[in-house]
Amino acid sequence: MNALKAIQERRSIKHFDPSHTMDESEIQTLMEHTLLSPTSFNMQNWRFILVTDSERKERIKNAAWGQSQIADASLTIVLCADLHAHEQAERYWAKAPKNAQEMIIPMIHQFYEDKPQLQHDEALRSIGIAGQTIMLAAKAMDYDSCPMIGFDPQKVAEIIQLPENHIIGMIIPVGKALKPAGPRSGPMPMNEICFKEHF
């Protein structure tokens, strides 16, 4: 499936086949493509919790007010980010030429250090980009998905043992749809959303 078709066909699915299992090679393929998502300064600040255990999915479902797609999907991905990823800049540029390291690494520290709001905003930007990659890659692999923010982040953090200085951005269940999504309500007119050069 080409990218434009995946964009057109991706829908938020609420009803997944609970009997379907994704094999490890499919999950590996999905996540290998997800890790190609861009991040600022190549920080790779996202962290992904891949939940396939039925008991843990059920606990996350309970923290999401009983939304069944979390437990019924083949794979439930909790998208998180490390707010302090900038502190490990040397890791992300270890294979770069020395002159690039000497230029970029200090810039990363300077740009993010002591700026908690920027660290938080960057984390959510990275999660958002990776989330869209997951959904489009899943669709290209003939799977469906559903981006979710309807959950108690504190409870989910306890369930996945979220480390300090990390946040959860969203949850994306991935699996085989039992029912298609309803008809699209339709986008707003393009001329109300897209402007040339300025508002």
CATH code at position 163: 3.40.109.10
Question: Which pLDDT score is estimated for 144?
Answer: 98
User: In this structure, is residue 20 part of a structural domain?
Assistant: yes
Question: Which pLDDT score is estimated for 49?
Answer: 98
User: In this structure, is residue 188 part of a structural domain?
Assistant: no
Question: Which pLDDT score is estimated for 1?
Answer: 84
User: In this structure, is residue 192 part of a structural domain?
Assistant: no
Half-sphere exposure of 131 (CA within 13 A, CB side): 22
Q: How far apart are CA 75 and CA 57, in angstroms?
A: 9
Question: Which pLDDT score is estimated for 187?
Answer: 86
Question: Which pLDDT score is estimated for 134?
Answer: 98
**Structurally, how many domains does the chain consist of?**
1
User: In this structure, is residue 185 part of a structural domain?
Assistant: no
User: In this structure, is residue 199 part of a structural domain?
Assistant: no
Is the separation of the CB atoms in 20 and 155 below 8 Å? Answer: no
User: In this structure, is residue 80 part of a structural domain?
Assistant: yes
User: In this structure, is residue 197 part of a structural domain?
Assistant: no
Directed axis angle between helix 24-34 and helix 116-140, to 10°? Answer: 130
Per-residue confidence in pLDDT tens, the chain, 199 aa: 899 999 999 999 999 999 999 999 999 999 999 999 999 999 999 999 999 999 999 999 999 999 999 999 999 999 999 999 999 999 999 999 999 999 999 999 999 999 999 999 999 999 999 999 999 999 999 999 999 999 999 999 999 999 999 999 999 999 999 999 999 888 899 999 999 999 9
Question: Which pLDDT score is estimated for 101?
Answer: 94
User: In this structure, is residue 193 part of a structural domain?
Assistant: no
Domain with 106, as residue range(s), is 3-178
Q: Supply φ then ψ for residue 168, to 5 degrees.
A: -100, 135
Question: Which pLDDT score is estimated for 36?
Answer: 98
pTM value? 0.96
Question: Which pLDDT score is estimated for 74?
Answer: 98
Quick one: which H or E segment has residue 100?
helix 98-112
